[in-house]
Amino acid sequence: MKTIDELLADGVAGKRVFVRADLNVPLDGTTITDDGRIRAVVPTVKALAEAGARVVVASHLGRPKGAPDPAFSLAPAAARLGELLGTDVAFATDTVGESATSTVASLTDGQVAVIENLRFNAGETAKEDAERAAFAERLAALADVYVGDGFGAVHRKHASVFDLPARLPHYAGYLITTEVGVLKKLTEDVERPYAVVLGGSKVSDKLAVIDQLLGKADRILVGGGMVFTFLAAKGHEVGASLLQQDQLPAVREYIERAEKNGVELVLPVDVVTSAEFPDLKTKAPSDPRTVAADAIPADQMGLDIGPETRKLYASRIADAATVFWNGPMGVFEHPDYAEGTRAVAQALVDSPAFSVVGGGDSAAAVRILGFDENAFGHISTGGGASLEYLEGKTLPGLAALED
């Protein structure tokens, strides 16, 4: 795929450049609680603006139902982008209507505009090719060149990600080229030992990537809510913990295959439990208890890995050459159950390994828990996209950028 450096070398002064970013940031009302994805696109937008392009930034946010919804407006993201760029950023209150058309038309060389949430138009996510194509045609009218830089959306076959690049000269932005380069280090010529840390709530979300990693990783460390399906598959009582009964056969097969393939599958030896799920809004103190992983009381639910497991996991990360981490080890949003996630993050910081934090909740946890992002090899902006890449899937947004 052609890169933004090639576009800049050809000259972009006076050209309208459509940048498909990923500004899908978490909001508390109109307050952005984590601006990582906005900061990630700044290098691409800044380079284009400084070269004299008229930059049109577009993104989705949340899951509106194909119509305008003030709760999912990109206005806060546009304002934050302006702060990070140190310049005024114009904002269009629609996607391809009168506001977008006039806002883009009023741009001068070096100026930047953000158009409203792409998912306010049903054509963005339509399953019908013709409906997506019609929306893509209207988006194409706003620009002369397309730059894909929304890595968190490249696994979606959406109009602005898949259909629009075919209608304009297209290039990969700095974020996408960086993300793809990092993921190749996890799939091609991997430095070993290669350790993978998987967490999150549901094992069903990770089945496909586990299937692939059983043939590539040297060790897999499991935590989060998904671990209780593994513990149950080994015959342990998991009490009131999250359990996906329908996934037990698959997990048993993975446990057997790991042993056969010589992949070290590391499970908790102790967990932190409570009789009730904690209040994440007030962060009120709960009643955490540490119990053996194979002896969870019937009235308790596991909410984090325990102190001995934290030491164990840190030791299995310490001597790795490559580490990929996707998914928190517990309910990190509450201080009583954040220590497992903190321990994994600290182990990555302390390790000389090339470490990749695989987006989503893991990336949010790193920032919320106060870690320096520069202490990690790479923090991905796309959890779902990263996982699908590691699964070996063809990502529509990357395929669309190929020549």
Which residues fall in the annotated binding site for (2R)-3-phosphoglycerate? Answer: 37, 119, 156
Say if residues 337 and 303 touch (Cβ distance below 8 Å).
Answer: yes
Interatomic CA distance for residues 383 and 209, integer angstroms: 12
Catalytic residue among 223, 224, 306, 384: 384
Catalytic residue among 15, 16, 20, 37: 37
Closest CA to 121 of 60, 163, 182, 170: 60
Nearby residues of 391 by Cβ (< 8 Å), 6 or more positions away: 208, 209, 211, 212
For the record, the structure tokens of 120 come out as: 């306010």
The DSSP H or E segment spanning 314 is: helix 307-318
Q: Is 89 helix (H, G, I), strand (E, B) or coil?
A: strand
Handedness of CA 362, 367, 373, 379 (dihedral sign): positive
Distance, C-alpha 225 to centroid of its chain:
18
Catalytic residue among 202, 216, 252, 257: 202
Handedness of CA 130, 133, 137, 139 (dihedral sign): positive
What letters, b where the CB count within 10 A reaches 16 and e where it falls short, cover 223-248?
A: bbbbbbbbbbbeebebbbbbbbeebe
Which residues are annotated as part of the binding site for substrate? 22-24, 37, 60-63, 119, 156
Please confirm, yes or no, whether 46 is among the known catalytic residues. Answer: no
Which residues are annotated as part of the binding site? 22-24, 37, 60-63, 119, 156, 206, 302, 333, 359-362
Question: If you write DSSP's letter for every residue of 337-374 in order, what string do you get?
Answer: G-HHHHHHHHHHHHS-SEEEE-SHHHHHHHHHTT--GG
Query: Phi and psi at residue 92, in whole multiples of 5°?
Result: -95, 135
Please confirm, yes or no, whether 262 is among the known catalytic residues. Answer: no
Catalytic residue among 360, 382, 383, 397: 360
Which residues are annotated as part of the binding site for ATP? 206, 302, 333, 359-362
Query: 58: which strand partners?
Result: 20
Interatomic CA distance for residues 153 and 59, integer angstroms: 9
Q: Measure Cα distances from 311 to 83, 104, 125, 127 in Å.
A: 41, 55, 44, 47
Beta-strand runs (E) in 29-140: 31-32, 54-58, 89-92, 112-115
Closest CA to 397 of 122, 79, 176: 176
Closest CA to 2 of 170, 217, 187: 170
To the nearest 10°, report the CA torsion of 113, 104, 396, 67: 90
Please confirm, yes or no, whether 16 is among the known catalytic residues. Answer: no
Query: Phi and psi at residue 3, in whole multiples of 5°?
Result: -110, 165
Please confirm, yes or no, whether 37 is among the known catalytic residues. Answer: yes
Residues annotated as catalytic (active site), given as ranges: 37, 202, 360, 384
